Each structure stands twice: as C-alpha cells, then as structure tokens.
C-alpha cells in the first residue's frame, strides 16, 4: 500500500511538472521558430508572449465538441485519452534524479519499448474511428512508420542495456556515473547508438523530418482532421509530451542521466533533456520532409542492419574488452 | 512485485490528469443550439463526402507488419541475453551470433527480392 501511495504521489508530482514544462517548451519552440523565419512570434498576450500557451489551452477548452455523424463514437471519443495516457506512461520509469522516479521497474527498458509500441493503438483508433479518408490514410502511414522504426529503436536501446548489464534505468545511469557517459566512452558504440536512437525516436513520434502522417499539404491534418477542442488538444499535448519524455529517456540511456558535477542531479537531467528538446525543434524547423518510400527504405535497408551491427559490436566489446 | 503497485498508481494518475482536461472542457465548452446538418458531415475539403472511409488497404502495409513481427520477436529474444552478456561470455556470443546471422540472411534475401521497397 505504501508503494502504491508513493507511486501515486511521485507520479502526480512528475506528471504535473512535465505538463507545466510543456508550456515553456511550447513558448521556446514558437519563439525559436519565429526567429529562424525572421518573425517575432507571439506577442499579443504579453510582450514576451509567455501567456500564449495558457491562452491556447483556455481556447481549446471552450471549443464546441463536434463528433462526425458517421464516426465510430466509442473509438473516436476514447482515442485522445488513450493517446495522452500512453504518452505520459513512458515517464514512469525515467529517473529524474537519484530519488525522483515514479516506478523504478527492473524491466524499465522493456517497459518503455512496450509503451512505445502501444502508441500505435490510439493512432489507429482515431484514424479508423473518424471514418474520414484523410484520417485513415494518416493513421495507416503513422502505424507503418511507427512499427518500422520501433525495431531500430529497440536495437539502439539494447546497447546501454548490454553495457550496463541491466534493464533498470537507474542502474544504467549508475553504471554511467561510475564509468563514463556512453557517448564519451566507449564512444564508437555510444555515439552511433545515440544517433540511431534519436533518429528512430523522431520517426516513431512522427516528427519532422519524418512527419509524413500529418503532411498538411496532402492529408489535411492526418488523424486529427475531425477532432475539435480539447480532444484535439490532447493529441497535440501527447505529441509534445512524447518529445520531452523521449528526450529524457535518451539522456538517461546515453548522456549519463542525472549524473554531473557540482549541481544537484535533477538540474543536470533537466538541462540535458532541455538541450535535446531544443535540438529536436531546431531540426524540425530546418529540414524538409521525406517521402514515404524513402523513409521505409531508410529504416529497413540501413537502420535495422546498423542496429544489429551495433548490438553485436557492443556484446563483443563487453565480452572481450569491457 | 512491489514496483508494480507504484506503476499502477502512476498510470492511474496519468489517466486522471488527462481525463480532468476532458472533464474541464465538458464544463467550459460552448454548446450550439442551431441545427446544422453539414457541421456533422465528414470533412472532405468542402465537397459532399462520398462513401465511407472504411475500405481495404494496400498490401504493402501487411508486408511491413510481417517484418515488424519478425524483427520484434528477434529483439524479444535478444533482450534477456542483453542483461547477462558478461556472464554468458564467448559461448553466449556464439549462440546469439549464429541466431543473428540466420536472421540477417533472411533480411538479405528479402532485400534482394525487393520486399523492403515501399511499393
């Protein structure tokens, strides 16, 4: 029972903290994108535009709820809730400092991959439930892309598991703080695995340069075409949550997590996660999108075999040199 | 399973937080009293929608799904070994290595057949 209460309390704190950080993430992204395009970004709500994101939330809360008459109501109405929940669920096993962790599972990495794979269900529920051709096409592309990139993602995540000898995320961070961060040593395994992880993660969460499922010039808005108000808001939120949490996971697996000199662990974790999030948005506003067939070919012909080579390489390194 | 309970609590909180947003929107949102038949029609860029969207998919999606199952099972086999690579030593490496080689032979064949092309 104590365990249950503790999980709930930590969970509440972590979830509220991440969700509030989203307001800051949104602001950073909009301002950054504006500067990159020689605009000034939101200024209407206050001179810095900081209240724009809360204002957007209020707007979404007040919007009329329109359910298409031909939709499958059960799927259509529950998909946003499931999508947001699955996106948050990943944060449960991420150690934000030596003590702040929702549920430090023995099978942390496996759990993360399971949650990641579960993410295709709300997408399909939304696409099929909307009974809209754009939504369905978007959902099918998203699923094909997500399941394909799941494979290199798992293979990249196996490298830290092999080196640390544990699937528990706090063990992996502890291994890195007692040895080296994985991108520092052995860097010939750590840096490619980190790159592969980030690439697969971007594709799995359908971000640019892999955002074909919601290519607005051909698919309107993909799976969110028929959604209004807060149901749309939950999908939108899930997308940002996914980026933030996946960045936190990447920093725990490859960048030493909460390990760092002088400042307390939580600060380091926030700093590393923040830098990765900024890098992702930098990419988003710099690159164009790929074509579907190029994306699939890239994954199955290049990324999967390189992932396998990395895993075998890590194992050989551990057995003969580590 | 002590940490299973903590995880359950975390997930319940996650559902509650995202659910509370939906409840808040239910309270705050405007409700239109006007009857507009087109408002609830499926969106097809302003045209009158034709037919349902529930139709057959292209077969290439099934090929992708098959490959996913294949490689996902491979990684499911690799995961338990990954935690004990040091203990399993060279013998484990040979065993897993031969498994991976067989799998990648299949991958090479599929590449040659063009099954990995998105067409």
Q: Residue A131 and residue B52: Cβ atoms within 8 Å?
A: yes
Contact in structure between A94 and A169 (CB atoms under 8 Å): yes
Contact in structure between A283 and A202 (CB atoms under 8 Å): yes
Cα separation of the two ends of chain B: 47
Of chain B, the percentage scoring pLDDT greater than 70 comes to: 95
For A58-112, the pLDDT digits (tens) are 888 888 888 888 888 888 888 889 888 998 888 888 888 878 887 788 888 888 8
Q: Above 80 in pLDDT, residue A185?
A: no
Check residue B61 and give its pLDDT: 82
Query: Chain A contacts of B11, Cβ < 8 Å?
Result: 11, 85, 89, 92
Measured CA to CA, the distance from residue A192 to residue A189 in angstroms comes to 6
Check residue A192 and give its pLDDT: 92
Q: Above 60 in pLDDT, residue A278?
A: yes
Place of tokens 């933030």: A244
> What ipTM was estimated for this complex?
0.83
Burial of A299 (C-beta count, 10 Å sphere; 0-12/13-18/19+): buried
Check residue A308 and give its pLDDT: 92
For A285-311, the pLDDT digits (tens) are 888 777 777 888 888 888 999 999 999
Q: Residue A85 and residue B11: Cβ atoms within 8 Å?
A: yes
pTM of the model: 0.88
Q: Residue B22 and residue A65: Cβ atoms within 8 Å?
A: no
Q: What interhelical angle do A133-164 and A120-130 show, nearest 10? A: 180
Q: Above 90 in pLDDT, residue A196?
A: yes
Q: What is the mean pLDDT of residues B36-40?
A: 77
Q: Residue B65 and residue A147: Cβ atoms within 8 Å?
A: yes
Band (A118; pLDDT cuts 50, 70, 90): confident
Q: Residue B19 and residue A231: Cβ atoms within 8 Å?
A: no
Burial of B34 (C-beta count, 10 Å sphere; 0-12/13-18/19+): exposed
Contact in structure between A239 and A246 (CB atoms under 8 Å): no
Check residue A75 and give its pLDDT: 87
Q: Cis link prior to A186 (omega < 30° from 0)?
A: yes
Per-residue DSSP letter, A71: S
Measured CA to CA, the distance from residue A94 to residue A101 in angstroms comes to 6
Q: What is the mean pLDDT of residues A27-52?
A: 86
Q: Residue A64 and residue B100: Cβ atoms within 8 Å?
A: no
Measured CA to CA, the distance from residue A172 to residue A191 in angstroms comes to 16
Mutate to test the interface with B, among A1, A2, A11 (most CBs of B within 10 A): A11
Query: Chain B contacts of A135, Cβ < 8 Å?
Result: 53
Among chain B residues, the shortest Cα distance to A225 is held by B43
User: Which helix (H) or strand (E) segment is B16 a member of?
Assistant: helix B2-28
Tokens of A289: 């999108």
Q: Residue A231 and residue B3: Cβ atoms within 8 Å?
A: no
Measured CA to CA, the distance from residue A267 to residue B53 in angstroms comes to 49
**Other C-beta atoms lying within 10 Å of the C-beta of residue A79:** 27
Of the candidate ranges A178-192, A194-208, B36-50, the one whose mean pLDDT is the lowest: B36-50
Contact in structure between A131 and B54 (CB atoms under 8 Å): yes
Nearest to A12 by CA among B1, B50, B16: B16
Band (B1; pLDDT cuts 50, 70, 90): very low
Q: Above 90 in pLDDT, residue A46?
A: no
For A6-36, the pLDDT digits (tens) are 878 888 888 888 888 888 888 888 888 888 8
Measured CA to CA, the distance from residue A139 to residue A212 in angstroms comes to 10
Of chain B, the percentage scoring pLDDT greater than 90 comes to: 5
Band (B101; pLDDT cuts 50, 70, 90): very high
Contact in structure between A165 and B85 (CB atoms under 8 Å): yes
Q: What is the mean pLDDT of residues A259-268?
A: 82
Q: Residue A166 and residue B83: Cβ atoms within 8 Å?
A: yes
Check residue A226 and give its pLDDT: 77
Place of tokens 């750590």: A190
Query: Mean pLDDT, chain A, as a whole number?
Result: 84
Tokens of A190: 């750590």
Strand blocks (E) in B1-119? none
Instruction: Locate all alpha helices (DSSP H) within chain A, ordered by sequence.
Output: 2-36, 52-62, 73-89, 108-118, 120-130, 133-164, 169-178, 187-204, 216-219, 229-254, 265-286, 292-297, 304-320
Nearest to A147 by CA among A119, A105, A106: A119
Q: What is the mean pLDDT of residues A230-240?
A: 86
Check residue A13 and give its pLDDT: 87
Per-residue DSSP letter, A223: G
Task: Choose the closest CB to B18 out of A88, A134, A292.
Answer: A88
Q: What is the mean pLDDT of residues B98-104?
A: 91
Contact in structure between A150 and A117 (CB atoms under 8 Å): yes
Q: What is the mean pLDDT of residues A260-269?
A: 82
Check residue B119 and give its pLDDT: 63
Query: Chain B contacts of A12, Cβ < 8 Å?
Result: 13, 17
Of the candidate ranges A169-183, A210-224, B66-80, B88-102, the one whose mean pLDDT is the lowest: A210-224
Tokens of A107: 């099978």
CA dihedral B89, B92, B98, B103 (to 10 degrees): -110
CATH: 3.20.20.80, 1.20.58.1610, 2.160.10.10, 3.20.190.10. Which one for B55-119? 1.20.58.1610
Q: What is the mean pLDDT of residues A26-55?
A: 86
Measured CA to CA, the distance from residue A87 to residue A319 in angstroms comes to 36
Measured CA to CA, the distance from residue A240 to residue A18 in angstroms comes to 10
Domain ranges of chain A: 3-321
Query: Chain B contacts of A230, Cβ < 8 Å?
Result: 21-22, 24-25, 29
Per-residue DSSP letter, B1: -
Residues 6+ apart with CB under 8 A from A205: A239, A242, A243, A246
Band (A208; pLDDT cuts 50, 70, 90): low
């Amino acid at each position: 029972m104590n365990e249950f209460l503790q999980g709930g309390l930590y969970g509440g704190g972590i979830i509220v903290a991440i969700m509030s950080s989203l307001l800051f993430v949104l602001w950073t992204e909009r301002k950054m994108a504006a500067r990159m395009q020689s605009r000034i970004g939101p200024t209407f709500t206050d001179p810095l535009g900081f209240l724009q994101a809360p204002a957007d939330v209020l707007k979404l809360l007040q919007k009329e709820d329109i359910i298409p008459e031909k939709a499958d109501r059960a799927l259509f109405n529950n998909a946003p809730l499931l999508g947001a929940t699955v996106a948050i669920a990943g944060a449960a096993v991420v150690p934000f400092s030596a003590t702040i962790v929702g549920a430090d599972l023995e099978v942390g990495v496996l759990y993360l991959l399971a949650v990641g794979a579960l993410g295709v269900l709300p997408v399909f529920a939304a696409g099929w439930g909307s009974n809209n051709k754009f939504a369905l096409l978007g959902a099918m592309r998203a699923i094909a892309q997500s399941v394909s990139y799941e494979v290199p993602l798992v293979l990249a995540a196996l490298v830290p598991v092999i080196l640390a000898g544990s699937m528990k995320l706090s063990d992996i961070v502890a291994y890195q703080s007692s040895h080296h961060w994985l991108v520092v040593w052995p860097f010939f395994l750590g840096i490619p695995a980190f790159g592969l992880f980030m690439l697969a993660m971007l594709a799995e969460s359908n971000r640019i340069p892999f955002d074909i499922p919601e290519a607005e010039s051909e698919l309107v808005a993909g799976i969110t075409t028929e959604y209004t108000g807060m149901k749309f808001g939950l999908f939108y939120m899930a997308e940002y949550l996914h980026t933030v949490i996946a960045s936190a996971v990447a920093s725990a697996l490859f960048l030493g997590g909460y390990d760092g000199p002088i400042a307390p662990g939580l600060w380091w974790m926030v700093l590393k996660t923040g830098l990765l999030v900024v890098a992702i948005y930098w990419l988003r506003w710099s690159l164009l999108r790929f074509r579907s067939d190029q994306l699939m070919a890239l994954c199955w012909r290049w990324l999967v075999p390189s992932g396998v080579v990395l895993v075998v390489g890590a194992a050989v390194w551990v057995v003969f040199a580590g | 399973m002590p940490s299973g309970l903590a995880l359950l609590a975390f997930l319940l909180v996650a559902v509650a937080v995202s659910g509370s947003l939906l409840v808040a929107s239910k309270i705050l949102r405007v409700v239109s009293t006007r009857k507009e038949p087109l408002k609830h029609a499926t969106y097809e860029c302003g045209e009158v929608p034709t037919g349902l969207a529930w139709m057959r998919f292209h077969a290439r999606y099934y090929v992708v799904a098959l490959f996913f199952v294949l490689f996902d099972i491979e990684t499911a086999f690799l995961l338990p070994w990954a935690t004990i690579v040091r203990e399993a030593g060279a013998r484990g490496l040979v065993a897993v290595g031969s498994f991976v080689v067989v799998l990648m032979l299949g991958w090479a064949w599929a590449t040659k057949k063009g099954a990995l092309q998105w067409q």
